[in-house]
Amino acid sequence: MDLLILVIVALVFVMVLVVLLAWLADERRLRVQERVERLHQRPRSPLAEELAQPFAQRVLRPVANRVVNAIGAMAPAEALETSRAELERAGNPLGLSAQAFITMRMVSAVAGVGTGFYLYTGTMVGENMRLPLAALVAVVGLLGPHYMLQKSIEGRHSQIRKALPDIIDLLVVSVEAGAGLDGALAEVVERKEGPLVDEFTRLLGEVRVGKTRKRAWQDMADRVAEDNLSALVASLAQAEQLGVSIAKALRTQSDSLRTRRSLQIREVAAALPVKMLFPLIFFIFPALFVILLGPGLLSMTDVLSALGGGQ
């Protein structure tokens, strides 16, 4: 009996081994076949590569982009430059160009005003609600894209402000360890992520293609337009001009940022009682009065009704 069990176990082991070897051999054969097909495959011409793309991506998308850019190009040069700067501050969330954003604002304004006029002159809503609803839709159409862009800029600036002290500390550690400023930035790019790291990545790319470090830092500060980052760039430029240690300048800037952030948190905390006053008066206090005084009022009503019945 023991010999039979041993033989069965040996057969199962051999079967599993054979299946595993066959699977490995098949995988190797597929890899070799794929390499052979890749070697025998001829490189396609640019025309063939373009024709291999879908019709919408090959024809419709370029035509739509050209029409959108043509409409947006009719805007004044100052409006285009302002939109371009705001899109840069927002990190280009949708990958839009300045012309495309201007076109989107035009379309949104026309759609909002048209819908508002239709609601005002139509019979879909009551007469008392026509004017407020039409005005609301028109305002949303006129100001909606710009409002969303400004909120995106504020959100990106908030992320940069939160990440800046920790990133400066990492820069200080890297510089004090003997790395240069560019090497410290490369270490930050490798270890961190976020909008500020994206800006540092772009800065390093500009420095590698030949732009001076001072100019690249200043362009980043102008592009982001965030006060704390601009102060950091100014501090680094002053330290380089005066010959002060970069690590010392970075540490001073980090301490200043943390102190400023602590003061901002205290300011927000000091304003909370005033902001909580109106919810307390209009929402919390009435509920408390109903809970605390409700049973007593009901009891008094029952007593008064009983006395009135007795009379």
**pLDDT tens-digit readout, 29-84:** 666 666 666 656 555 556 556 656 665 665 666 666 677 677 777 778 888 888 88
> What residue ranges do the domains of the chain occupy?
73-88+96-154, 157-263
Band (pLDDT 50/70/90 cuts) for residue 2 is very low
**Helix then strand then coil, % of the chain, to nearest 5:** 85, 0, 15
Q: What is the pLDDT of residue 16?
A: 63
The span from the CA of 72 to the CA of 92, in Å, is 17
**pLDDT greater than 70 at residue 159:** yes
- Distance between first and last Cα of the chain: 105
Q: What is the pLDDT of residue 32?
A: 63
The span from the CA of 194 to the CA of 48, in Å, is 39
The span from the CA of 198 to the CA of 205, in Å, is 11
The encoded tokens of residue 203 equal 């800065």
Task: Report which secondary-structure segment, H or E, holds 83.
Answer: helix 77-89
One CATH from 3.50.50.100, 1.20.910.10, 3.50.50.60, 1.20.81.30 for 157-263: 1.20.81.30
Q: Which amino acid is at 227?
A: D
**pLDDT tens-digit readout, 111-129:** 888 888 777 787 666 677 7
Please, what is the average pLDDT of the chain?
A: 76
CB 228, CB 260: distance < 8 Å:
yes
